[in-house]
Amino acid sequence: MSKLLSDIRPVLDHTSCEQVQLLGKWVWGGTGEAVAPTPLLITLAKNGGILLAAYLPDGPDELGGMVGFVFGFPAYERDIDGQTVAKHCSHQLAVLPKFRRKGLGLQLKLAQRDAVLAQGMTDRITWTFDPLQRANAIFNLESLGVTSQTYIKNAYGDLDDDLNIGLTTDRLQVDWNLTSPRVLRAIAKQSQDNLSHENLYIVSAPETDRDCNVHIPTDEKYVILAVPLPNKTDARATSEQSNLCLWRQFLGSALTSAFDTGYTLSGCQELPNMGHHYILIANPKT
């Protein structure tokens, strides 16, 4: 896999915002409603939001060479003590299919990290992703070093884009603690702690609806949980709809139960002869 070095710069003008919208429509399909309208993009970008685009010499002429973008804005939430804490909410990351698997998504996220830290308001970014999407899970958890303790059911309601049509929009919210040792190891391409199969509990993959009410053991000997992911995630294939709905129910039950039991999602790894699994640990090192 060859790496490409793109020119990443802020998007602030009307024309570039329209190109962001067009790129989003090419990536997600549907009616194009997934990307915010130009006036909102410009307003947010000029008032603390961060909208960055990646450009390559062989990028599409219609987009002025733009091949990807990342978009987010300042936000806040309440901590466990009810105090208001600042964060950056990353809303979207998109790379044109032709230019994927070449490191551009990582470049955009690292540029976003630099921009957020330069603002000096927070060192934490949150966003959501579809737990059915294995490639996104590996990128977020392994390449960026995010963690998660939040499962949101049907976060965005019904969407008509190619990835979501026919499915509820369940999402995992992730935390990217930009200066934590875990994140610094990840972006330096250093491996996290090796997965030990001692004290590991592997959840069985679902076969019927009866398997979607997942019981997570509370025995203290199980320090690590492994929750399987599906091999196929093409929502556009009618033949896959029922299977994906089954997996949606299963992951919702398993991950919610694990979070309620005190586990934190920290990895997505392939177990020998068993496929990819979400890895959750109790009291993780950050």
Is residue 236 pLDDT above 70, yes or no?
no
Q: State phi, psi for 137 to the nearest 5 degrees.
A: -60, -45
Angstrom distance (rounded) from CA 243 to CA 47: 43
pLDDT on residue 219:
76
The verdict on residue 207 lying in a domain is yes
pLDDT 10s digits, 158-188: 655 555 555 789 999 999 999 999 999 999 9
The answer to whether residue 159 sits within a structural domain is no
Instruction: Please state, in angstroms and rounded to a whole number, the distance separating the CA atoms of residues 232 and 208.
Output: 17
pLDDT at res. 32: 66
Contacts of 22 (CB under 8 A, 6+ apart): 32, 62, 63
Stated pTM of the model: 0.90
Q: Is residue 130 part of a domain?
A: no
72 within a domain of the structure (yes/no): no
Domain region containing 247: 200-282
26 pLDDT exceeds 90? Answer: yes
CB-CB neighbours of 270 under 10 Å: 12
Residue 221 lies in a domain: yes
Residues 6 or more apart whose Cβ sits within 8 Å of residue 270: 276, 277
> Per the structure, how many domains does the chain have?
1
Residue 259 in domain: yes
Q: What is the pLDDT of residues 55-112, one digit of tens each?
A: 999 999 999 999 999 999 999 999 888 899 999 999 999 999 999 999 999 999 999 9
Is 100 domain-assigned? no
26 near 35, Cβ under 8 Å?
Answer: no
